[in-house]
Structure 1
């Protein structure tokens, strides 16, 4: 299940994937490679990595970019992954039947993945506007 979380900053867009059936350790191995990279570079990296976690993370990155494009009108070429985190979800416990009427427990771990995309073109415009206002204040005082 993929959810979108609202944020107070208007340059960031969230995508949240919950109850993904893999361990958090294996998902972190992939997330650590894409944190801080651009959107296009992330897509290339995820398509070439041989891990099973890449598919779920690729879907989340696509979803976050679609949220950015549709909800806020951001351009996909100016997006970077500002924050990416993996948290442990609940553990699904099952019983596997064995010989002579016994059963062994099986624990399926899940994880929650959060991807935050940030539009760097808007940050540059904000910095320029702040410096202009700061310079005007210095001139007036």
Structure 2
């Protein structure tokens, strides 16, 4: 999903219903918040966590959408906002002895990444 902000140089990507805990995804998101696009790709490829792969796909997709749809240069992008919110539970039943069952709650999360253009951002901040 791409949304233009007031400056028009912002790309928002959203991944919903990712099957992992929000706490585990936040551990990875906290490492990449505020970093440049190329640095983020290097960090995510080398991290040993399972949560880094869906986040890597989301950042890569957001950057490709920014370059294709808005004509932004990928080298000038940085992650201005990254957040993880909890999603709904996936409820399952596990069979137990004597015909009983035990509930299983699988956690899901929603990941939001916002990329901004560094060159446009530096020009706007220099104005009084």
State the alpha-carbon separation in 1 of the partners of residues 5 and 17 from structure 2: 25
State the alpha-carbon separation in 2 of the partners of residues 96 and 83 from structure 1: 39
Structure 1 partner of 2:116 = 118
Moved over 6 A (4+): none
Candidates 53, 61, 84, aligned match of 2:82: 84
Q: Does the 8 Å contact 1:5/1:16 carry over to 2? A: no
Q: TM-score, normalised by structure 1?
A: 0.85
- RMSD after superposition: 1.3
Size of the alignment, in residue pairs? 127
Greater radius of gyration (CA):
1
- Is residue 59 from structure 1 mapped to residue 57 from structure 2 by the alignment? yes
State the alpha-carbon separation in 2 of the partners of residues 75 and 8 from structure 1: 17
Candidates 44, 48, 73, aligned match of 2:42: 44
Structure 2 partner of 1:69 = 67
Q: Deviations over 1:41-96 (max 9, x none)?
A: 00000001011000000010011101110111111111100000000000111101
Q: TM-score, normalised by structure 2?
A: 0.93
Unaligned runs of at least 5 residues, structure 1: 132-141
Structure 2 partner of 1:22 = 20
